[in-house]
Structures are given as C-alpha cells and as structure tokens.
Amino acid sequence: MTAFLQNCFAGLALGSTYALVALGFVVIFKSTGVINFAQGGLLALGAYLGYTFSNNLLLAFGVAILLACLVAAVVGAGFERLVLRRMVGQPPFAVIMITIGLLFVLEPVITAIWGFDNLQVRNPWNIHTVEVGGLVFGVKDLWTIGLTAAVVVGFFLFFKYSSLGLAMRVTAFDPEAALAQGISAKKIYAVSWAIAAALAALAGIAMAAGPGGLSPSIGFIALAAFPAMIVGGMDSPAGAVLGGSLIGLAEALTRGYQDQLFSWAGDNVSVIVPYILMIVVLLIRPYGLLGTKDVRRV
Amino acid sequence: MAKPHRDLVRDYRQDLRLFGSPTARAGLVAMLVGLVMLPMVVQDDFWLSVLVYVGITAVGAIGLNLLTGYCGQISLGHAFFIGAGAYVTGWVGSDLPLYLWLPAAALVGGMLGAVIGPFALRLRGHYLAIVTLGLVFIGEHLWRNWRGLTGGNSGTSINAQVALGPVDFNRVELAGEVYSRNQGYFWLVWVLVAIVALLVKNLVRTRPGRALQAVRDRDQAAEVIGVRAGRYKIGAFVVSSAIASVAGALFGSYQQFVSPDEWNLLLSIQYIAIVIVGGLGTVFGSILGAVFVGALPALIDRFGDAIPGVRTGVGGEGFISVFALNQAIFGVLIVLFLVFEPRGLAGIWLRIKAYFKSWPFSY
C-alpha cells in the first residue's frame, strides 16, 4: 500500500509538469488553432534561462523563475509576431510544420550557448524530503504540485474574470465576431503564445531543479505532454490538467509495477504508456475526455 | 491553317497524358540518359553514396507525398514504416532473391498501413499528426525490445541478396567492364525511383488519384459527389506505407546494418521537410526535395572545415556541431519555404517554366 501511494505521488508530481506543458498547448490551440510543437524548445529555453539567472547571475530562485518565464514569454510572442502571423489562413499542416521548424532552430541554438553538459540548477529545496506516515515526499515535488495547482487556479480565474481572459475566450469562440467587437485578435494571439511559453518555462525549471538536472534533452518531456493534451481534449484547459494527471499516474504506476506486471513488454515500457493510453482514449472518444465534440454533417 | 501551340491541350485524353508536353518528354529522355551515364562519369564513392541515399530518400518521399500532398493526411509516422521495411529485409533478404524480398517489404508495410489507416478515418488534422507521432515512439520501443528480429539496441546486420538474374548489383558486369557496389546500387535505386514515380504519377492522374485530391481539398464535398472518402484515406495510407517500406528495405540492404536509433522522429520530420521543400502534391517535387535536403547534410559534413564556427570533431574548435548545424538549417528551411514559397522547389520550377513559355511576353 505504501509503495502504491508512493507511486501515485510520483505520478502526480510528473503529471503536474505534464499539465503545465499541456495547458500551454491548449492556450495556443484554443485561441489560434495551432498545435505548438516548439513547446519543448521553449521549455528547454526557459529551463536554461532559469539556470543562468540563478546560477550565473546568482539571483534569488523565485526571481530567476519569474525572469526566465518573462524572457520565454517574449520569445514566444516574438515568434508569433514574426512568423506565425504570416501563416493566418494556411492549412493546419503548414502551421504545425512551422512550429517544428522553430523547435529545430531553438535546439541547436540552446546547445550552442549552453553546451551538452548536464547542469545542476541551484534551488532552495536541494534534495530535502519530508516523511509522513511512512511515505517520503520530495520537497521539490511538493512545490511542483503546489505551484501547478496555484497556476491552474490563477489560470481559471484569469479566464473567468479578467477582461483579457474574456477577450481570449471570445476570440477562441469566434475570431470574426471578436474583431467586430473591437478586440484585437493580433494582441490575443501574441498573448496566448506568451502565456504558453511562460508555462513551458515554468515546467522546465520545475524539472531542471529536480535530481535529473538540466540537459538539452529536457525538451523531450513536451512530446510526452502531447498525449496529456489529447487525452484531455485539445481545447479544454480542465482536460489538460486531468489528462496530465492521468498520464503522469499511468506512467509512474507502470514504472513502479513494471517488474511484476509488465516484464513481458520489455524495458522502459513506461515511456510509451502515454501514447498507448492516448490511442485507447481516442478510439473511444476521438475528441478527448473533455474536448468539444466536432460535429459534422454529411 | 496555323498549327496550334505545342503545349495546347485540345481534349480530355491529352490532358490526362502522363507526360503532356514534348518538352517534358525530352526531359524524361535526358533524365534516363543521365541515370544510365552518371555512375560511369562520377566514380567517386562519396558522391555515389550520397546519390544512393538521395534516391532511397526520394522513394520514401514520393510515398509520403502521396499521403500528405495528395490526400492531405498529416503523418509523422513515416519513420515507423521505413524501419519496418528495413527489418523485413533483414529477416527474409538473405533467403529470398531481390524480386521477392522487395515486394515482401512492400507487402508488410502495406499491411501495417492497413492496420494504422483506420485511425485516419476517426481522426483528422491535428489528432492524426499526434497519433502518428505516438506510432514512432511505440515503434521505437518495439524495435528496441523485439530482439529476435531487430537485435535490440545494438542493432542487426542485414545481408540481403541484391542480384536480379545474372546481374549482381554488388558487382555489375557490363560489356566487359566491372562496376563497383556503389555504381550498381545507384542504378538499382534510381530505377526504383523511376518506377515508383511513374506508379504514383499514374495513380494520381486516374480516378483514384483525383478522388484523393478531392478528399484532400474538402472531404465532405468529396463524399457528396460520390467519393468514398474513408476507403481512399485508408488506401492512401496503405500505398504510402508500402512505398515507405520499400525505401526502408533499400536503405537496410545498402547500409547492411541498422539500429533502432535510426527510426526516430527526426527521420519522420526530415521526410516531411523534403515533401514541403520539394513541393506538396508533386511527384517531381519529392525527388527535387530529396536531392536538396539529402545532399545538404552530406555537403556540410564534407565541407564542415571550411564553414566558420563549425566544430567537426569532438572537442574541436567552434560553437556548433555539424549535426546541430544540420538541424538548424532544416528548421530554417522549413520555416522559410512555408512562409515564402509554400509550393516548394516544384513551385519555383513551375515559375521558371512559365517564364520561358510566355517569353518574350513575360513581365
């Protein structure tokens, strides 16, 4: 039982990182209809910026996080402004490929600046753990879960009550009607890219501050967050959180019980569990658990 | 009575011809002559091997273009089918002759495509892209763990027979002259490029191909005019993955050794980059794109020393490795082409052609 709960906790910690990344996907998809494959690159960029701010410039960790999120947001919005704005009205395929192109440019730039070495981010939690009733919680994991929860709550409040959030919802629902009401779609698109990039940076630093440290392959986690977004439904923020938690739990539990239950499936089967879960969910609900059903009349 | 212009299309039958204009036919002859002559002129093993890889890539790219360019289905899973083709060759290639293992690879690829294809019916656009992305990862897991077939992480060697009757492509003897393995493979691969190109070109000009394009442009409208969109979507998947497996089979037999690291997402994306850079929905564009994108890494690899800032060896001078530079150039190419020339190299080619066609009235 202890082992099970311990695995669940690991799953939630992992899942909250997925949820942050998936939220970024959803924000961009909902307002602009684009799936952002470059999210992993932005995540890595954010993590490395966080490293520079906290280790090289010796800023306080909280300040480093904020600054990294800010710079990543500027990069995200800048990319939207420079490239994606020209792609309005192009087929979704072309736009997806543009974001893949961005990812391919970001990765070598990051390795050219910071190199391939594994770096350790200076963080206030070190590797401290808390023990409660036989369960061991990493302080850093607790912070990640708490931070994600706070961001998610803030996210929903922002969309529900702020005028910018309302404008974003309106633009997502019907861009032309929004324009007619004097909402600047350009501004909304740039803001959604900025928010997504900031979320990615946050997830990146949360990961990099962990025992795994920081290496160029950190952006890989964004690929595992795709299933989280798909499972939840591409246009549902709540779905992103739900999907992220589900995927994280499934992955951690598979890893925990691999030796006993999944030894026939080969090593590291937990890596592909998100994708298998995604395919199973899509077969039952092609629009995800909480996504909007795409109604088609033929 | 004045003679009509040589390019004037006067009836439907003419419009459907494979090689419409006399210029195109002359170009075809020139290409065939070039195909036969090139390995005799270029004997350098480096350039020949680059051209062989380009040809193999062109085969796969034509297949992907059929699916993505003509049928509008986004697939990031091409690497999976290419890998499957290579492993089929490793499995049966040493026992069966060339004319059996190549179709066998195509058959297995087609069957895998038929299994994955139905997903394309339920999912569209973005969802399909991500499911096929999942396919690459699941495939990689499979290749790493199915050790009997793939040799696990350490890879497996492939000893496929490459003889067609008396002609052994490892050592072609022609009119008393002996040609090397690279030269032999050049002919084998590029003849297959020609066959596949002809096959796909023929497919897309006839009813199924026009049905595919109708599905791409608007699948609901296609259904309304009597195209069974579902059948054609699965069909495109099957043919495309069969062709991909042929490319994989050629790759495996040429390289003689494959490991699971080769069938990753990067490979899929390279193929998509080729299709985009070459031109979506043109067979000729896929070949142009393969030449362009396939030759570029080889050039950078070869002349990396001459480019400032590029680090050629481990721990060498410079801030960017050859691999990283490659990747960055891919990224920039994809973005630039999509933004400024969405029709790709084939589009540029068409513009040049149109310029000369209307010369001296061009503006």
Distances (CA, A) of A67 to A58, A201, B118: 13, 10, 47
Task: Please give the tally of structural domains in chain A.
Answer: 1
Q: Are the beta carbons of A105 and B74 separated by less than 8 Å?
A: no
Residue A11 is assigned to a structural domain of this protein: no
For residue B313, tell me if it sits in a domain: yes
**Is A242 inside any structural domain?**
no
Facing residue for A101 by CB, picked from B68, B146, B331: B331
* Domain-located, residue B1: no
Residue B327 touches partner A, C-beta closer than 8 Å: yes
- Asked if residue A154 is part of any domain, the answer here is yes
Q: Percent of chain A, pLDDT > 90?
A: 17
pLDDT tens digits, residue range A124-160?
776 777 777 777 888 888 888 998 899 889 988 988 8
- A42 inside domain: yes
Q: How far is A124 from chain B (nearest CA, A)?
A: 32
User: Is the residue at A189 inside a domain?
Assistant: yes
Report ipTM for this prediction. 0.84
E strand or H helix that includes residue A136: strand A135-138
In a domain, B363, yes or no: no
| A1: in domain | no
Residues belonging to chain A: 298
Instruction: Tell if the CB–CB gap between A96 and B122 is shorter than 8 Å.
Output: no
| Domain housing A116 | 19-219
* Domain harbouring B204, CATH code: 1.10.3470
Q: How confident is the model at residue A298 (pLDDT cuts 50, 70, 90)?
A: very low
Domain count along chain B: 1
Mean pLDDT of chain A: 85
Amino acid letter, A290: L
Give pLDDT, residue B312: 60
If DSSP codes are grouped into helix, strand and coil, which group holds residue A95? helix
In which domain, by residue range, is B257 found? 42-358
pTM of the model: 0.87
Q: Is residue A31 part of a domain?
A: yes
| Two structure tokens written together for A176 | 């032309």
Q: What distance in Å separates the CA atoms of residue A73 and residue A160, rounded to the nearest whole number?
A: 22
State the Cα angle at A125 between A121 and A128, rounded to 5°.
120
Whether B267 has its CB under 8 Å from any CB of chain A: the answer is no
The alpha carbon of residue B180 is apart from the nearest alpha carbon of chain A, in Å, by 37
What does the alpha-carbon distance between residue A50 and residue A119 come to, in Å, rounded to a whole number?
11
Q: Which residue has the higher pLDDT, A15 or B171?
A: A15
Please name which of A153, A152, A286 lies closest in space to residue A231, comparing C-alpha atoms: A286
- Tens of pLDDT along B131-141? 888 899 999 99
Query: Closest Cα of chain A to B56: distance in Å?
Result: 23
In a domain, A173, yes or no: yes
Q: Which residues of B touch A282 (CB under 8 A)?
A: 119, 122-123, 127, 131
Q: Where are the beta strands (DSSP E) in B177-315?
A: 177-179, 257-258, 310-311
